A and B are shown apart, each in its own frame.
Chain A
Amino acid sequence: MRIAYAAAFLIGFVALLADHLTSPSSGRPVSPEDFAGACAPCGAPCPSSRAAK
């Protein structure tokens, strides 16, 4: 299990680094996403707004 675990950990970590380093940068701190109007942390719209659609 130890070898498989280590391999999985390494692959996962390298993938994380690759994702981060290739992601776009504006070169300045970005403020947290504004979830205003969302009904859940994932950004789902509220039932009342969906009914109005």
Chain B
Amino acid sequence: MTAAVTEPAASARLPRLDWPFLIAALLALSLLVALVMIDGQPAAAALLVSGFALGVVFLKAEFSFTASWRRLIVRGQADGFLGGLLLIAIAATVIVPVAATVQGFGGTIAPIGPSLVIGAFVFGIGMQLANGCGSGTLYTVGGGSGRMLVTLALFIAGSVIGSLHLPAFLSLGGIDPVLASNHLGPWGGLAATLASIAAVAAAIVAYARKKGAAVWPARKIVIGAILIGLLCIAVFAAGRHPWSVTFGFTVWGAKLATLAGIDLTGAEFWQWPGPKRALGDSILSDTSSLTDIGMILGAMAAAAAAGPFARNAWPPLKSLLAAAVGGLLMGWGARIGFGCNIGAFVGGVASGSLHGWVWFLAVLPGCMIGIRLRPLFGLSRE
């Protein structure tokens, strides 16, 4: 997941700061903030800046859901996963009660059924082949990885294909969303949410202890988790719903398809009010896209400020193939499963929606299969 370490001699010839990319990232952010401010949208500016901060934190903390879940599955190592639970708990303390009580704010909900489970499962396979999930793809792309650019491209494509299939998968059935605050009130819902997080944490700690693997996260992860949790709150405040990643990709892909002459307006997904509006309006009017773009730029700035940028060699073709297949599966799976690790898992659990835990239970077997497939593409098993 981290950028490959270059030879000391090589890096000594290059400046410590990669100025072109640092300046490019900062200029790009400034220009986008200016454009949305001209539009009279300070909330959009806040989302860009929050996304930028998320990119910096994820990159500096190397906060990888994909690698930490792989370590949990293969070795029973709990540290990274617990860091994820910490950030979700922090975000939940604001999201659950505010979504339940303040007009105009909503949590992330989704129906529970075959669509959710199948989508999450396929996403799980994809994320382990790609070496990144939703947030992972964004911060590694921003960090200068050409391989993850391939993943992103196929993620976008798979996302559009998924949008065309989603209505069919929805018709397979399911139950309406189960939201804790609907049944227990804002504070009862929060208590239930935190209790569920604590219960899962306890189970994972017990499992890690049994496997004799590392339990508690390192300081870098804890600090990263706290900052990400707080930024989740900021994103929720600005966008009025929890942080989401993959909807942005779907919109980008649909706009490219439209540019190529494909008419999506007849598809059921693209007639729903949210997608229809997003397709017809600027990318900078979509909350998900704003945080996505901000995150790529933030990771770019952080990576460029720390050393040579995008100077790695391309990985072998097999690895690129895994990146592509992984991206495609993630794109399709995220659309069918109502999001990725951020949108469905973090967003769902932090909103007190049962679908977040169901998504997680379904993604694990997918991850296991993906981990098994990694050596076929020359990737490590852990």
Contacts and interface: CB of A to CB of B under 8 A. Distances in A.
Contacts of B311: 1-2
Interface residues of A, number: 34
Interface stretch (B54-62, B168-176, B188-196, B324-332): B168-176
A34 B277 CA distance: 11
Contacts of A20: 35, 282-284
A28 B113 CA distance: 41
A47 to B, nearest CB: 5
A35 B241 CA distance: 10
Given A13-B28, A39-B109, A47-B113, A1 B170 contact: no
B285 A23 contact: yes
A45 B293 CA distance: 28
A41 B108 contact: yes
A24 B277 CA distance: 11
B310 interface: yes
Given A40-B110, A46-B177, A5 B275 contact: no
A19 B85 CA distance: 37
Given A1-B313, A41-B343, A47-B113, 7 more contacts: A16-B293, A34-B273, A40-B110, A40-B111, A41-B108, A43-B274, A50-B171
Interface of B: 20-21, 24, 28, 31-32, 35, 39-41, 43, 104, 106, 108-111, 113, 144, 146, 149, 163, 166, 170-171, 173-177, 239-241, 244, 247, 250, 255, 269, 272-275, 277-278, 280-285, 287-288, 293, 309-314, 335, 338-339, 343, 347
